[in-house]
Structure 1
Amino acid sequence: MRHDIQPNERAYSTKEVAEELNIATPTVRKYGQILERSGYEFFKNGTRRVFVQSDIEALQTIRDTDKPLEEIAVELVEQQDSRLTSSTTDVATNDTYDMPLEDPNKMRELLIYISQELAASREMNTQLANDMAEMKENVGRLRQDHHVISSGIGNSTQKMNKLIDQQQKQYEEMLEEEKQKNDQLQKDIENMRQEQQKVWRAQNDFNTRLEATVKERKSGLEKFFALLFRK
């Protein structure tokens, strides 16, 4: 499964990719099908492909190549596999060595990063909610206009309403999915905070015991030297 998307990286629709590469929308779908047959992975929203910058670069390579499409598709799949493997290794290395739970500073940095991601997620949720409100308003207008112009065409009205309901359901599902992700992220942050508090308490207990030991040994040395010089 793909995991190479960057924080706050923009996602493109098929239509946006077609405009970006100056090719027809069916051509984008054709290139995507060729890549998938060779093993290339796209992010998906249901059955729809969602494109990121690396995908656009792959499609641009297909557009500009003189090689057979199936051959260049295999090369692009190999490049993606190499990139995903490298990304997995980097993540594993960072998780193992760069952020040990015993280091409060690293833990604090991680919490800051997660907080930033949570803020970005909340901003995305707000944007989705605004888009949903605008969509509902547009749907309301569409329904009114449709009622005026298609009062005598019952079959067309049913098809239009079905399409509008499907569109509205899709946006509601996307909003619910983002809400669930946001809730999970909040739970993860709370777990990290609890783990950090445990580490800090353990460190404080150790410091307290160490300080007591040092004072005890210092007091013993002072008594020893006092007796030594008194003789």
Structure 2
Amino acid sequence: MRHDIQPNERAFSTKEVAEEMEIATTTVRRYGQILERNGYEFFKDGDRRIFVRSDIEALMAIRDTDKSQDDEAKILVDQQEKRLEGYTETQIALSNTYDQSLQDPGQLKDVLSLLANELAASREMNVQLKNDMAHLQTTVSRLQQDHHVISSGVGNFAHKTNSKIDKLTEQQKSQYETLLEQEKEKSEFLQKEILEMREEQKKEWRAQNEFNEQLQMKVKPPQGKLEKILSLFRK
């Protein structure tokens, strides 16, 4: 376990490391995996990596290396092991001589310093966690607002579309009723015209019949004259 964090040393999240290195967060995770599979140790909060300045320098070395990234990772692991040797030895010595350390001001000072470093690291991680939670809450709130805006937009669009459909339907209905009324008026007018034409035709027929009767009366000779004419043919 690592114990090389310095007093008041700042901890960085994956997002902050990505921003500083100007790479994607997925690339930071990939570089971290390359280092870990070669034996590199990170500070962890569960499965979540917590980065300090030395870790960022290691990630930059992986990014900028001209060699194989795994070969560079092995070099960085060796450097980390050498750097941690002093901390490991101090930890073992303190563990084995804990009873005497309380009577030795020098060792007690080392214990307190180690505890202070651990406390500082914990505080930094807590601050980072709070910042991440605040950022997450802001993101969730923004997503909820976006969802509300999108839902409102969809609802307004659907309402406008339905209103347009209703308006077009009403217009078509009105046009159909107008055309139907016009056709009805035309039909009534035609029926009236036909009736008037029939009446005129009847009048003409009556007039013609009266004319024919009058003509027959004028053409038909009187009965007495007709008999005289017939008697002449009998002689």
TM-score (norm 2): 0.47
Higher RCO by CA contacts (8 Å cutoff, separation 6 or greater) = 2
TM-score (norm 1): 0.48
Q: Determine which structure has more spread, i.e. the larger CA radius of gyration.
A: 2
